[in-house]
């Protein structure tokens, strides 16, 4: 996966009215954050927005395929959706779709804080941890 610096710069420019976009390089690509909330990954010559069960219907209606990572002979589906084509040249579209992705990122962060996601030890009840 390769991160396109021009794409990352465009995302930051388009989303400037919403907040500060930062990124972290990972496996040749980049994970994008808006004011600290993960909302997208850039790689495979595309932008992939964060998704979840609550936003899946919106992405499906737009025809945005799920990110599929090939792991040897297995393929794993991840909670990211390919960005609609209009985000690459329309700042309003970028902001509209980024809002959907940021909302999914915020919900994922809440789940982690609530302990509904994480290691088995983190999910165990206090009595089970004792």
Verdict on whether the full-model pTM lies above 0.85: no
Tokens 């219907």 sit on residue: 57
Residue pair 50/38 in contact by the 8 Å Cβ criterion = yes
- Predicted confidence pLDDT, tens digits, the chain (130 residues): 557 889 999 999 999 999 999 999 987 789 999 999 999 999 878 999 999 999 999 999 999 999 988 778 888 888 999 999 999 999 999 999 999 999 999 999 887 766 655 433 333 434 433 3
Q: What is the SS3 assignment for 41?
A: strand
Q: Identify the CA nearest to 41 among candidates 32, 53, 33.
A: 32
């Amino acid at each position: 996966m390769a991160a396109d610096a021009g794409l990352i710069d465009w995302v930051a420019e388009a989303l400037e009215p919403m907040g500060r976009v930062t990124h972290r390089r990972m496996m040749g690509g980049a994970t994008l954050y808006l004011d600290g909330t993960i909302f997208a990954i850039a790689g495979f010559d595309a932008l992939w927005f964060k998704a979840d069960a609550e936003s899946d219907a919106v992405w499906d209606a737009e025809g945005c395929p799920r990110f599929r990572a090939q792991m040897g002979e297995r393929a794993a589906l991840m909670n990211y959706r390919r960005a609609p084509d209009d985000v690459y040249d329309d700042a309003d579209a970028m902001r509209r779709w980024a809002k959907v992705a940021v909302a999914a990122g915020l919900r994922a962060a809440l789940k982690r804080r609530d302990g509904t996601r994480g290691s088995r030890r983190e999910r165990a009840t206090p009595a089970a941890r004792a």
